[in-house]
A = this chain, B = another copy of it.
Amino acid sequence: MSAPSTTTAPAPSDLAFIRFVSVENMMKLVHSIGVETMLKDLSRYIEDDFKRWEQFDKTPRVASHSEEGVIELMPTSDGEDYGFKYVNGHPKNMREGLQTVTAFGLLARVDTGYPELLTEMTLLTALRTAATSAMVASHLAPKGATTMAMIGNGAQSEFQAMAMWAVNGVSTLRLYDIDSAATDKAVRNLSSQGFKLVACATPEEAIEGAQIITTCTADKQYATILSDNMVGAGVHINAIGGDCPGKTELHKDILARSDVFVEYPPQTRIEGEIQQMPDDFPVTEMWQVITGTTPGRTNDRQITLFDGVGFAIEDFSALRYVRDQLRDIPYFEKLDIIADPDDPRDLFGMLQRAK
């Protein structure tokens, strides 16, 4: 068969396209749903996936470390869908006017291996991280907690505040950052959201009267944002800034006094606050609390500590959520990323006919 030389290549079929959500479309999607609704929804999707934890293919993320930071791939699958996220962490980026964390993610079908959805995940990661913290706090924080100390007022802080408000009713925020300009920014961004906002000059001041303490700082070093004598009985600590080897926020004496809850122990022992502790330091897996297999908070003197590092299943939940939303809210473009010849064995012929 020799096609006449004037024949043009056939237009790609629908199979050749995947849905792509740009940053612009993600922002439209968020506003069309509403930030608070989306945080609540995400928190429910994540909780649902934690409930079926054992169905997932789990692996610690695949990290490529360098002097300046880390690039990671975070894959998981529930046997039906496969998802992964690309994410970097470069604390020094901020000083160069760049994001510390950028991310994108993909959802694919397990039965064919064909990608279905590609999406920006810088915003989506900020939302899912906050939704995870809030979901965890709904299980572990003291009942009726309304005041949160927010230590570290960077890119993640407002999302944390909004999620703790939307999911758990936190209404007072006590903010501290080593750079007061960051606190000013967070106060400005949250001023119209109905919070009581208290800008604090020291971490000690920030945690006064707080039932929830969130630490979310970004330096790649063993830091001690909270020391042992600062933390009183009964609080819930949401420690989410320590998320790679060599980066922690809490003094280890706090860990020793607390009941520590984690996402996926093999990853958290490498990346979380507990990297400071022996390999057999006891931790509880959050999915077991959520399914009722293991108790969470058992008394009001107990310090509960969520050593959150971010796990692939949370990204999977977020990708699932976006895919489900796109059915009704078509904020996506079509991306021609899959070669789809009419005859799957005729890739070379497809290329030739495109000449």
Contact = CB atoms under 8 A, between A and B. Distances in A.
B155 A122 contact: no
Contacts of A157: 348
A75 B84 contact: no
B30 A351 contact: yes
Contacts of A113: 68-71, 88-90, 93, 102
A96 B15 CA distance: 12
Interface string A102-122: 101010101111110000101
A265 to B, nearest CB: 19
Given A68-B110, A155-B344, A185-B346, A354 B15 contact: no
A155 B22 contact: no
Interface in A326-350: 335-341, 343-350
A99 B339 contact: yes
Given A24-B12, A155-B346, A336-B23, A341 B99 contact: yes
B90 A122 contact: no
A27 interface: yes
Contacts of A98: 15, 112, 114, 340, 344
A340 B75 contact: no
B122 A338 contact: yes
A185 B345 contact: yes
A6 interface: no
Interface of A: 1-2, 9, 12, 15-16, 20, 22-24, 27-28, 30-31, 35, 57, 59, 62, 64, 66, 68-71, 73, 75, 77, 79, 82, 84, 86, 88-90, 93-94, 96-100, 102, 104, 106, 108, 110-115, 120, 122-123, 126, 153-159, 162, 182, 185, 188-189, 191-192, 335-341, 343-352, 354-355
User: Which 6 A-B pairs have CB atoms at the shortest separation, nearest pair first?
Assistant: A88-B113, A158-B348, A122-B339, A22-B336, A27-B354, A155-B347
Given A62-B73, A120-B339, 17 more contacts: A2-B191, A12-B24, A22-B336, A23-B338, A30-B351, A66-B110, A66-B111, A88-B112, A88-B114, A94-B345, A98-B114, A99-B344, A102-B338, A122-B347, A126-B348, A153-B345, A189-B349
